[in-house]
Amino acid sequence: QVRLVESGGGLVQAGGSLRLSCALSGRTFSIYDMGWFRQAPGKEREFVAGISWSGRSTNYADSVKGRLTISRDNAKNTVYLQMNSLKSEDTAVYYCAAKVSGQNDYKSWGQGTQVTVSS
């Protein structure tokens, strides 16, 4: 059973930075593509960023390109989301998710971590 635990959320002023972390346990980390999603109050959950099992391929939502960076350390079973130049519209609960490389759907999810950006 895959277990994902996020950390690093908090309150930050607009223009500031945060780094989220997500640790995976229970399975071999390096077979999973990883993703970050977010859900703002009253809105549906949306994709933010994804990274392949090797780390060689990444993709981003248009709204975060150039400001948020996803990375991973397979030796530490951890995926990161570096968040710079934060805006009030980035306020949301952020979730990490895992899918076996080659599959379409993210089937394992963390509990989420709150990010609040004050303007």
Q: Which residues pair with 83 in a beta bridge?
A: 18, 68
Q: What is the pLDDT of residues 45-102, one digit of tens each?
A: 999 999 999 999 999 999 999 999 999 999 999 999 999 999 999 999 999 999 999 8
Name the least confident of 11-15, 23-27, 49-53: 23-27
Could you tell me the CA-to-CA distances from 3 to 22, 77, 93, 116, 117 in Å, in that order?
10, 11, 18, 25, 27
Give pLDDT, residue 27: 84
Tokens of residue 105, six digits:
């759907």
